[in-house]
Amino acid sequence: MNLNKKIPAAIALASCLLLPSCDFNEDFCTRYGELIAYCDWENITEKAPLPPLRHVIPFQGNASIQEAKTFTQDTLRWQLPRGDYRFVFYTGDYQVNRLDDYYECNLSVPTDTVNGKAYITAVQKYCCSSAFNEKLEYQESKTHKITPWNFVSKVNLKLNVTGNVQPLSRISYELDGLSTSRYLVSREKSGSAILPGEFKKEGSTWNSSFYLFGVYPDTDNILTVKVEMDNDNEIFNEIRTIDLSQHLRPLNDDEITLEIDFEVGKGMKVETVTITDWIDCPETELQ
């Protein structure tokens, strides 16, 4: 007996819709591999907590295939089309530029122009970075340990103030010649702007600490200090300057501390320079 089975058209159509949405020729299919990445902080001297925002940018050829993937947990698991990749890793909340060019991709800080001068307008946060390569295969996972290095330097300014200190109410400053961007691959620095800031009184000293990409080689690093007295002594307000170029160039260290003696009404001089993991260097040895 011959039995002819008839399949309803609706069932046949549903079966077709359940098929993978790619051509039967595998060349037209997007096949994914998995990147598993985690961070090893062994090179980082920064005190905890470490930056919660961690970013990985994938490059194929010379251009990024998409914007950075951000992760806040210890491990990143990321499905990406199979292929050869160059990845760039960085931390923190920064503006990323030139995703179209692996070698030109850089981080920058916001600036604004006031009276013809460029000023850094946001407090720069800690940042570390790394670059690595991986080949992702179809339906395979590749695990990579990211070992970042500091991407910024920390500068500590300590002001030892003497003289007519009783009416002191505020000490602010501007530091010229600081880099505004840095390339993620070459780690070279570019741009120049002024960083405004304020000293905070802590015990017998006035202190300020900040992060920066580095210093611009063609601009002197002039520190301008503005001293403000209380309302009854405003006549004694003053502005003093000191050139810190010889102490800040080249700024390739993780951390540097400049201790500056400032006698109100007379002037300033750098007393000592301390570089992390180095010995203290008296000013005379740096001439």
Res 10: pLDDT: 46
Q: Within a domain: residue 19?
A: no
Q: Within a domain: residue 122?
A: no
Task: Report the candidate in 259, 133, 236 with the shortest Cα–Cα distance to residue 185.
Answer: 133
Angstrom distance (rounded) from CA 75 to CA 248: 37
* Tokens, residue 107: 């981080």
Residues 131 and 57 in one domain: yes
* Residue 170 domain boundaries: 153-286
Res 175: pLDDT: 97
Q: Which long-range contacts (CB under 8 A, 24 or more apart) does 266-272 make?
A: 266/163, 267/240, 268/225, 268/240, 268/242, 269/242, 270/242, 270/244, 271/160
Angstrom distance (rounded) from CA 63 to CA 71: 21
Res 281: pLDDT: 36
The answer to whether the beta carbons of residues 257 and 273 sit under 8 Å apart is: yes
- Tens-level pLDDT at each residue, the chain (287 residues): 444 444 444 444 444 444 444 554 555 678 999 999 999 998 887 776 677 899 999 999 888 988 899 998 889 999 999 999 999 999 999 999 999 999 999 999 999 999 999 999 999 999 999 999 999 999 999 999 999 999 999 999 999 998 888 888 999 999 999 999 999 999 999 999 999 999 999 988 999 999 999 998 888 999 999 999 898 888 888 999 999 999 898 778 889 999 999 888 776 767 666 666 433 333 333 32
Q: Within a domain: residue 18?
A: no
Angstrom distance (rounded) from CA 54 to CA 73: 9
Q: Helix, strand, coil proportions of the chain in percent (round to 5)?
A: 10, 50, 40
Residues 80 and 169 in one domain: no
Res 270: pLDDT: 75
Q: Within a domain: residue 132?
A: yes
Residues 134 and 208 in one domain: no
Res 271: pLDDT: 66
**Dihedral class, residue 214 (left if φ above 0, else alpha if ψ from -120 to 50, else beta):** left
Residues 146 and 218 in one domain: no
Res 190: pLDDT: 95
Residues 209 and 260 in one domain: yes
Residues 145 and 264 in one domain: no
Q: How many domains are there within the chain?
A: 2
Q: Within a domain: residue 21?
A: no
Q: Within a domain: residue 264?
A: yes
Task: Report the candidate in 148, 184, 171, 140 with the shortest Cα–Cα distance to residue 239.
Answer: 171
Residues 169 and 196 in one domain: yes
φ/ψ of 49, rounded to 5, equals -85, 145
Q: Within a domain: residue 258?
A: yes
CA atoms within 13 A on the CB side of 224: 10
Q: Within a domain: residue 269?
A: yes
Provide the CATH number for the domain around residue 192. Answer: 2.60.40.3690
Provide the CATH number for the domain around residue 57. Answer: 2.60.40.3540
φ/ψ of 146, rounded to 5, equals -85, 125
Measuring CA to CA, how many Å separate 241 from each of 192, 224, 266?
19, 4, 11
Residues 249 and 205 in one domain: yes
* Tokens, residue 264: 């109100």
Residues 191 and 67 in one domain: no
